[in-house]
Copies of this chain bind each other. A is one copy, B any other.
Amino acid sequence: MLKISKKADYALMALQHIASVQFGDVTPGRVVNTKEIAEEYNIPLELLAKVLQTLAKNGMIDSHNGPKGGYLLARGARQITIAQILESIEGPLGITDCSHEKDGEFCMQREHCNIRTPLLKVQDSIYQLLSSMTLQDMLGGTPLITIQSPTAQGVTR
């Protein structure tokens, strides 16, 4: 449960790769094309292409057409958060269906729903976590993220 999709997985891998090439020591600034990434990580080419297109459309990467074309990060690796990447691919993050209800639409249970508020809290926490982590944090092997979640004992509010 709570799984993220393969597409999102691919997006993360691809961005990590692009970032590491772009800011790496070997060939800094080099443009990376779809095929290279697909072969490196055994990702179906066409699917990866779609993922990269989506990322480009959402301003995560810049695309360059024609031969010797490919992709570059649109911003620095610190300016791209994991939350942004995931939302680019999978749409707005939401634990529950009722997270982003507009206008008149609401779930069948809304009226007597007893879990909406606490779940929205959980959702916020997860969102904050994903927003606090950037592409930069995924470079260089070991990640540095940590979290403290005090049990509900008279905290905040």
Contact = CB atoms under 8 A, between A and B. Distances in A.
Interface residues of A, number: 69
B152 A137 contact: yes
A97 B137 contact: no
A154 interface: yes
A149 B145 contact: yes
Contacts of A112: 40-41
Contacts of A119: 12
A143 B118 contact: yes
Interface stretch (A28-36, A57-65, A67-75, A83-91): A83-91
B122 A149 contact: no
A149 to B, nearest CB: 5
Contacts of A95: 2-4
A66 interface: no
Interface in A129-157: 129-130, 132-134, 136-138, 141-157
A109 B2 contact: no
Contacts of A3: 94-97
A132 B150 CA distance: 7
A99 to B, nearest CB: 8
A114 B138 contact: yes
Pairs of residues from A and B, 4 with the lowest C-beta to C-beta distance, nearest first: A1-B90, A118-B143, A125-B147, A144-B152
